[in-house]
Amino acid sequence: MQQKPGPFTFITPTAPVATPTHGGRAKCLQRLIRLDLPVPRTVALSFDAVHAIAAGCEPDVGAILAEFPEDALLCVRPSSEDPDWGGPGSVLNIGMNDASFVTLADRIGTEAATALYLRFVQGYAVHVARLDADIFEDIHGVDSDALSEALRVYQDEAEEPFPQDPGVQLAGVLRSMARAWEGTTARLLRQAKGAPADAGLGLVVQEMALGLGAGECGSGVLQLVDPQTGKRQITGRYLSQSQGREALTGGKAIYLERDPRGPSLEELAPQAFAALKEHAALMRQRLREEMQIEFTIEDGQVHILDGVRVSRRGRAAVRIAVRLAEDGIISREEALMRVEPRALSEMLHRQVAPAAPRDRIGQGIAASPGAASGAIVFSTREAQAYAARDEACILVRRETGSEDVRGMHAARAVLTERGGITSHAAVIGRGIGRPCVVGASDLHFNMAKKTLTTRDGRVFRRGDIITVDGTAGDVLAGTPEMVEAAQDDSFRTLMAWADAVRDIGIRANADTPADALTAANFDAEGIGLCRTEHMFFDADRLTVMREMIFADSPQGRRGALEQLLPMQRADFIELFRIMEGRPVCIRLLDPPLHEFLPADRTGMRDLAEALDRPLSDVERRVELLSEYNPMLGMRGVRLGIAVPEIYEMQARAIFEATVEANRAGLKVVPEIMIPLVSAKREVEMVRAAIESVAGQVRGRTGAEFEFRLGVMVETPRAALRAGDIAGYCDFLSFGTNDLTQMTYGLSRDDAGRFMSTYVQQGVYDEDPFHVLDRDGVGELLRIGAERGRSADPGITLSICGEHGGNPESIAFCRAVGFDYVSCSPFRVPVARLAAAQGAISDKIK
C-alpha cells in the first residue's frame, strides 16, 4: 500500500516574474510527486522569493503553513541549480514547541521527542538566533531537566523566550537561510565552484517524515549502482530510529539488500525494501539518471525525502552513461554528452585510491596524469639501473632535457623543480604516459647532495620511496593504495559510439615505437607528429651525431650521417609496421645542434676523448653553437638549409623505409613535415632537396612510392603567409606550442615562474600553454587556415601542439574546419569523445 504523495506548491514573490526559478531540488521533488512517489507535502520558494526575504521582506508564513496540516513538523532545505554550489549548510526544522512536544512524546516516546526538541532548540539558537554553540555545553543527558535548562539558556542569551509560534520559527529560518546564501563566505565558495555571479537560492519546505517511533522506523540512502565503479549493485545504508543521513555515519547502520556480511533492510522489512527498489527503478527510468534516494520509513511505510544524481568519477561515469543508453533510457548521443572528456583520462592511468590517506610532502603542477611509486633517483643512469633490475624508481630532476628522455622511459614517474604545463618533462611525460609533477618549487632540490627537503625540514634521499600523483599534482611519501587503470567494455562501447558521430580526425603524437603502440591501442587514426630528434639520443647514435656536428665539411657530415641512416630507417619501418598503413607524419630534425652537445665540463672532457680532439676544440664548438635565445635561433628549417645533409639523410631513411614497408605489403604514403618555417622559399628549397632524394631512391630501388610534404606552422609569419606557403606543400599542421610562445613573446620554459600569479590575478584568463588562446593564437590559426585553404582548397589542415587533445581546442579546430587534431597518445580517447560531443552539440543547435 502506497501512501498518497503530498501536494506540491510553488510560492513566488509578490512581484510577478516571467518564469520563477525554484532550483534543482524543488524541480526534482516535483517530478517525483508527479511520478506518484511517496514524497511528503512540499512547498517550494522561488529564487526571487528568497532573494526578497534576504533583502528584508517579511515572508508570508501564513500562506506556507496553510499548505500543511496544523501542528505538522516541517523541515527547510536549500534548493539550487547545482548541488555543488552548496548553500546554507543545515536542514532546519519548524514546528517543535511545548505543545507539539507533548503530542510527539505520545507518538514516538518521551526520550526520542526530548532528543528531537533539544536538537531543535540548539539548531535554532545557532543558525537562526545566531547564538554561540557552546552556551549549551553544560547541558548533558536527554531528559526534562536538560530540556528546561536548554530553553532557559536560550531565553537568557537571546533575551527572549524560545519562540513557540511555528510562524515565527518559519520566518526566522527562512530569513536566516536566505541571508546565509548572500554572505561573503558562501559567495566565495560558489565562485570557487564556478557558479555564475547571480546564482540564486530556492528553499524547499517539507513535512517531516520522522523515522522515529513505533513499528519499523528509520532512515537511509539508496542507489542502484556502486558509485566508485558504476556497476549495477544496490548500495547504501539504513539505520532504524534515525533521521536524515544518520545512517551514513551511524555505526549500527545495516545493508539494504541481503548481504552475507551482515543484516539488511531486505531481511528486516522486506515490503519496504521492495517498495524502495521499485521506486528507485522508476526514478532511474523516468528521471533518466542514476539517483541517490534519501528515504525514511515510518512504521513500515516508505517516504522519499529527496533524490540527487549519484556523484561519480571516471569509470563509473562511463559505465553509468553506457548502461543507461543500452537500457534504452537515454540515446547514445546523450550518453556521449554525459561523460566529461577529462574524466576518461582517469581511467587510462593508475590512480591513488580516492580514500587512501595522503602524506603530502610537496605540491606542483599536475603535468601528466596517473600515479606511481618508486625509489628516488637523480639521474638517467640510476633510473636505467633500477629499470634493469625491474625495480620502480622516480626520476627527480631540476628540469629535464632531451638527454633525460631515456631516464624518463626507465622511471615510473617524473618530478621536477621547475617548468610548467608544457615544459619538456610535461610534454614527454604525457607523451609516454609517465605520471609527472613539475614546478614543485616548495620542495628544495639539492642535486649535489641528492636530497629533497620539504618545507618543514623532512629530508628524502636517493632510494627513499615516494609517490608522484600526476593527476593531483602531489608528491606523497611512501606508497598509498592505488586504483588500477582499466579500459572496460563500457569504455570501448562509448569510444565506438564517439567515432560513429565525430567529424574530425584524431591522430596521436608519437616519437617511439612504444608511443605508436599506445596510439594504435587507442585507435588513433595515424601519427600526426613524430619528432625525430628523440631518435638521436641513444648513446650510440648520440656519438655519431656529435661526430657529424664536429665534421668540418659536407663530406665529413655525410660520412657521419651515413652511419645514422640505417638506424633511422629501422625506426621508420617499425613505426610504419605498427601503424599498419595509417598515415605517419614525420617532422624533420628541429632542435638546435647544441642540444646534442654536453653542457658541463665532464661531458665535454668525455667528448674530447671520444672524438680524439683537444678539449679546447670541444669547448670552442660548444661556445660557438651556444645561443642567447635557443627558441628563436638556428633550428628547424634553418638548420635544414644551413646543413642540408641532415634532411637529405632523413628523407632517404623515410623513403627507403617506405619502399621496404610497401614490399612487406603495407601501403605507406609517408608525410614529411618541415619545422619552424617562416618564408615560402624555405619550403621551396627543402621540397626541391627532398624530391631529389625521392628520385634517387626511386631510381636505386626501382620502386614507386608517393609522399606528402607539409609545413609545421609555428611562427606567426608562417600563419600570416600560409597562402604563399600552401603552394609548396600538401598539408599545414599548426604547432600551437611554439606558436603560442611567439605570439605572446613568452617562453614556456621561463613562464612557469609567473604564470600561476598571472592567471590568479586574471591578467590572462587561462594559461595559454594549457588552454588554446582563441583570441590571439586562435586568430592566427584562423588566418592561416583561411589563407591556406583559399590558396589550395585541397590542403590538409591540422593542429599538433599540446593543445590538440583539449576539448576546447577541438571545438575550435572543428569550427575553423581542420581535418584532424593530433595529441599525445594517452589523450586520444579524450579527444575522440570531445570531438563527438562537438559534433552532437552542433547538430542540436
Structural contact between residues 410 and 384, judged by C-beta atoms closer than 8 angstroms: yes
Beta carbon nearer to a copy of itself, 704 or 775: 775
Cβ 626 to a copy of itself shortest distance, Å = 9
> Over 796-810, what HEC string results?
EEEECCHHHHCHHHH
Residues 343/369, Cβ–Cβ less than 8 Å: no
From the list 482, 567, 720, 771, which residue makes contact with a copy of itself (rule: CB under 8 A)? 720
Pairwise CA distance, residues 785 & 129, whole Å: 64
| Choice between 239 and 732, CB closer to a copy of itself | 732
Q: What is the 3-state secondary structure (H, E, C) of 712-727?
A: EECCHHHHHCHHHHHC
DSSP 408-425: HHHSSEEEESS--TTSHH
Residue among 417 and 474 whose Cβ is closer to a copy of itself: 417
Contact at 8 Å (CB) between 594 and 603? no
279 touching a copy of itself, by CB under 8 A? no
Any idea which residue has 639521474 for its cell? 379
Q: Are strands 232-240 and 218-225 parallel, antiparallel or unpaired?
A: antiparallel
d(CA 358, CA 475): 9
DSSP category for residue 314: H
Nearest to 804 by CA among 503, 400, 509: 509
How many residues would you count in the chain?
Answer: 845
Based on CB atoms, which residue is closest to a copy of itself, 598 or 640? Answer: 640
Question: Could you give the angle at the alpha carbon of 465 between the alpha carbons of 463 and 466, nearest 5°?
Answer: 125
Member of 547, 595, 714, 767 binding a copy of itself (CB under 8 A): 714
In this complex, which beta carbon is closest to a copy of itself, that of residue 610 or of residue 754? 754
Nearer to a copy of itself by Cβ, of 152 and 681: the residue is: 681
- Tell me how far, at minimum, the Cβ of 278 lies from a copy of itself, in Å: 56
d(CA 177, CA 845): 38
Work out whether the CA dihedral 696, 697, 702, 704 comes out positive or negative.
negative
Least Å distance, CB 813 to a copy of itself, is 19
Minimum Å distance from CB 599 to a copy of itself? 12
Question: Which three three-digit cell numbers place residue 221?
Answer: 540512502
Instruction: Name which position in 27, 187, 492, 717 contacts a copy of itself (CB under 8 A).
Output: 717
Given the complex with a copy of itself, which of 131 and 637 has the nearer CB atom? Answer: 637
Residue 403 burial class via C-beta count within 10 angstroms: exposed 0-12, middle 13-18, buried 19 and up: middle
CB 807, CB 834: distance < 8 Å: yes
**By CB under 8 A, residue 581 contacts a copy of itself:** no
**C-alpha torsion 277→282→283→287, nearest 10:** 160
In the set 135, 384, 764, 771, which binds a copy of itself (CB under 8 A)?
764
Q: Applying CB under 8 A, which of residues 19, 185, 602, 757 lies at the interface with a copy of itself?
A: 757
- Asked about 57 being catalytic, the answer comes back as no
Stretch that binds a copy of itself, among 49-57, 281-289, 474-482, 738-746 (CB under 8 A): 738-746
Query: Could you tell me the smallest distance in angstroms from the CB atom of residue 777 to a copy of itself?
Result: 8
Select 410 or 781, whichever has its Cβ closest to a copy of itself.
781
- Check binding of 689 to a copy of itself (CB under 8 A): no
CA distance 754 to 748: 11
Q: Distance (Å, rounded) from C-alpha 592 to C-alpha 632?
A: 10
Q: Any idea which residue has 605498427 for its cell?
A: 578
775 binds a copy of itself (CB under 8 A): yes
152 forms part of the interface with a copy of itself (CB under 8 A): no
Q: Identify which range of 279-287, 382-390, 687-695, 769-777 contacts a copy of itself by CB under 8 A.
A: 769-777
Given 585, 800, 813, 823, which residue is catalytic? 800
Q: Among 547-555, 687-695, 761-769, 825-833, which window interacts with a copy of itself (CB under 8 A)?
A: 761-769
Among 574, 776, 816, 819, binds a copy of itself (CB under 8 A): 776
Among 216, 773, 792, 802, binds a copy of itself (CB under 8 A): 773
Binds a copy of itself by CB under 8 A, chosen from 716, 788, 807, 825 = 716
- Residue from the set 492, 558, 687, 753 that interacts with a copy of itself by CB under 8 A: 753
Cell triple for 421: 604545463
Which of 248, 565, 634, 791 touches a copy of itself by CB under 8 A?
634
Sheet holding 444-446, edge to edge: 444-446, 451-453, 459-461
- Told to judge if 424 belongs to the known catalytic residues of this protein, a careful annotator would answer yes
Indicate which single residue of 619, 633, 696, 730 sits in contact with a copy of itself (rule: CB under 8 A): 633
Q: Is the CB of 138 or the CB of 600 nearer to a copy of itself?
A: 600
The Cα–Cα gap between 501 and 148 comes to 68
Pick the binder of a copy of itself from 282, 482, 631, 816 (CB under 8 A): 631
Cα-to-chain-centroid distance, residue 243: 36
Told to check if 615 binds a copy of itself by CB under 8 A, we report no
Nearer to a copy of itself, 679 or 703 (CB): 679
- Which of 239, 376, 676, 834 lies at the binding interface for a copy of itself (CB under 8 A)? 676
Residue 745 lies near a copy of itself (rule: CB under 8 A): yes
Single out the segment in contact with a copy of itself by CB under 8 A; choices: 86-94, 596-604, 635-643, 790-798.
635-643
Which stretch in 11-19, 337-345, 611-619, 631-639 sits in contact with a copy of itself by CB under 8 A?
631-639
**CA–CA separation, 807 vs 221, rounded Å?**
35
Q: Which stretch binds a copy of itself (CB under 8 A): 219-227, 279-287, 454-462, 773-781?
A: 773-781
Q: How far is the CB of 431 from a copy of itself (least distance, A)?
A: 20
| Stretch touching a copy of itself by CB under 8 A, among 242-250, 377-385, 406-414, 772-780 | 772-780
What is the closest distance, in whole angstroms, from the C-beta atom of residue 401 to a copy of itself in the complex? 10
Q: How far is the CB of 759 from a copy of itself (least distance, A)?
A: 11
23 neighbors 56 (Cβ within 8 angstroms): no
The residue type at 405: V
Q: Going by DSSP bridges, is the β-strand pair 8-11/42-45 parallel, antiparallel, or unpaired?
A: parallel
Kindly state whether residue 487 participates in binding a copy of itself, applying the rule CB under 8 A: no
Q: Assess contact for 67 and 207: CB atoms under 8 A.
A: no
Q: Which is nearer to a copy of itself, 449 or 700 (CB)?
A: 449
Q: Decide whether 654 or 739 has the Cβ nearer to a copy of itself.
A: 739
754 binds a copy of itself (CB under 8 A): yes
| 561/547 Cα distance (integer angstroms) | 9
Burial label, 758 (beta-carbon count in 10 A; 0-12, 13-18, 19+):
middle
The distance of closest approach from Cβ of residue 630 to a copy of itself in the complex, given in angstroms and rounded to an integer, is 7
According to DSSP, residue 763 is labeled S
For residue 431, what is its C-alpha cell? 607523451
Beta strand 505-509 with 731-734 is unpaired
Interface residue with a copy of itself, options 763, 790, 817, 841 (CB under 8 A): 763
Name the helix (H) or strand (E) containing 451. strand 451-453
Counts for the chain of helices (H) and strands (E), in that order? 33, 30
Strands 671-674 and 584-587, by their bridges, are parallel
Q: Which amino acid is at 208?
A: M
Q: Which of 279, 349, 409, 424 is catalytic?
A: 424
Distance CA 689, CA 514 (A): 31
Q: In the bound complex, what is the minimum distance in angstroms from residue 713's beta carbon to a copy of itself? A: 11
Let me know: does 192 contact 276? Beta carbons within 8 Å.
Answer: no
Among 308, 392, 608, 746, binds a copy of itself (CB under 8 A): 746
- Binding to a copy of itself in span 778-817, by CB under 8 A: 779-780
Q: Which of 438, 180, 344 is nearest to 831 (CA)?
A: 344
Residues at the site binding a copy of itself, with contacts judged by CB under 8 A: 627-634, 638, 641-642, 676, 678-679, 681-682, 685, 714-717, 720-721, 738, 741-747, 749-751, 753-754, 757-758, 761-764, 773, 775-777, 779-780
Known catalytic residues are 424, 800
